[in-house]
Amino acid sequence: MQDMSPPITNLRMEAKPDRLTWDLHGNATNIKCIKDSKQILKAEQDRYCEYHALSLCKVSNYTVRVGNPPFSTWILFPEPDGDSEAAAKNLTCWVHDMTVLTCRWAVGRAAPRGVQYRLSWRVGSGKDLECPRYHVDERGVRVGCRWDDVSRYQGGFLVQVHGASAGARIPCKEDMVDFFQQERLSPPNVTIRCNLTHAFLEWKNVSHFNRRVRYQLSIQRFRDNVNSLDLLHPGTFVVRIRAEAYLAGIRSDWSAPQRFVCDSAGDTLSRVWWAALLIALAMLLALLFMFLLCRRFSVVQKILPPVPNVKDPLWDLGQNYKLVVWDIGQPSPEDCPVAQVQVQETA
């Protein structure tokens, strides 16, 4: 007699460790699990299918299909519970200011009076952790949460918002937070160091999770009123900057304009002092050059003294003549005037 009992019974979801499991009868083979008619997994040892980050808020259809003998069965998980219009609405989370995570949501339209929400997150297969700091509206209902430091969670985690009320059951809402994709960049603060010829602009990294961030600068020079990246002799200029995580397609807003002055009175005074020092140095170098030049000629004269005049052997033999120059037409030195002298005798 042929056994007509189904090969799979007691199909169930074990929330921890996130397994879809069943009781197997007979020699059923080629078993697969299908989630919402699109995600297909091959069963482990034909006994279960394991899911990562299993949703506890969104109702999904889980179908188990047997290849031999042909058979299929399904369940809904989680089971529909309460009015979905009472659940938190527009749940949104984002990372900002490097490591801060903020989540916001709105109160459901059908939420009963006295409703309260609780946010928790799950990392891996560990236990759920609750929000450390809530934001509340004017009625005292929680509508937001803030973590000051999520830097140790590199990839992200699953966030869930559960509703509670004394008179009704409220479904939960969830959001898979991806720090890489859901970061909101802020423009960095620019600092500057100036010297006489250049301006050095510096800023700090604005992302902890996006490693490839590039920065765009808009620089307006007052002298020519055009955008330029040439900061030689910068003078006075205005800078705006924005950051872009180009792999994630995220871009910050432009920063507020920052005005920098690199041609202040102090710089002018410095240039005057530098000019005076350069002039003094040039004068010292000129004096040193003249001193070295004079010393050089003195040394040359000592090494190479002047050659004495050559004597004429015909004229210089024992003679000591002196040459006298006179003009033509003038009496020669030998034509001296002669005065006559008379000698008178006295008695």
- pLDDT of 84: 85
Displacement of CA 161 from its chain's centroid (Å): 35
What is the chain's pLDDT, residue by residue, as a tens digit (347 residues)?
456 789 999 999 986 678 999 999 888 899 999 999 888 999 999 999 998 767 888 889 999 999 999 999 999 998 887 888 999 999 999 999 888 999 999 999 999 988 999 999 876 656 778 999 999 999 999 999 999 988 888 778 889 999 998 878 888 998 888 888 888 888 888 888 877 677 888 888 888 888 888 888 887 665 443 333 446 666 777 888 888 887 888 888 888 888 888 765 555 555 567 778 889 898 898 888 888 888 776 655 666 666 666 555 554 545 554 555 555 555 555 555 656 656 555 54
Tokens of 309: 């005049």
Tell me the C-alpha to C-alpha distance, in Å, between residue 314 and each of 308, 311, 319, 321. 18, 9, 9, 12
Cβ pair 241, 217 in contact under 8 A:
yes
pLDDT of residue 329: 58
Check: CB of residue 213 under 8 Å from CB of residue 244. yes
pLDDT at 308: 62
Give the whole-angstrom CA distance, residue 31 versus residue 22. 11
**Cis peptide, bond prior to residue 69, ω within 30 of zero:** yes
Confidence (pLDDT) at 42: 94
Tokens 């083979």 found at: 29
CB-based contact 192:200 (threshold 8 Å) = yes
Adjacent-strand bridge partners of 150: none
| Contact (CB, 8 A) for 142 and 113 | no
* Terminal Cα-to-Cα distance of the chain (whole angstroms): 211
Half-sphere exposure of 91 (CA within 13 A, CB side): 22
Closest listed residue to residue 118, CA positions, set 131, 128, 106, 105: 131
Residue 257 neighbours by CB under 8 Å, 6+ apart: 238, 239, 240
Kindly list the strands in the beta sheet with 173-178, ordered across the sheet, starting from the edge strand earlier in the chain.
129-130, 116-122, 156-164, 173-178
C-alpha dihedral, 22 to 26 to 27 to 30, nearest 10°: -30
CA dist 70 → 8, 21, 28, 66, 67 (Å): 11, 18, 9, 5, 5
pTM for the structure as a whole: 0.59
Determine the Cα–Cα distance for residues 258 and 325; give it in Å rounded to an integer: 91
Taken in order of first residue, the domains within the chain and their CATH numbers are 8-77 (2.60.40.3850), 89-178 (2.60.40.10), 190-223+230-265 (2.60.40.10)
Contact 185, 213 (CB under 8 A): yes
**Which residue has 């590199």 as its token pair?**
154
Q: Locate tokens 């423009």: which residue?
A: 187
Q: Which residues are CB-contacts of 326 (< 8 A; sequence separation ≥ 6)?
A: 332, 333
The residue written with tokens 């519970």 in the block is: 81
pLDDT of residue 201: 84
3-class state of residue 309 by DSSP: coil
What is the pLDDT, as a whole number, of residue 264?
52
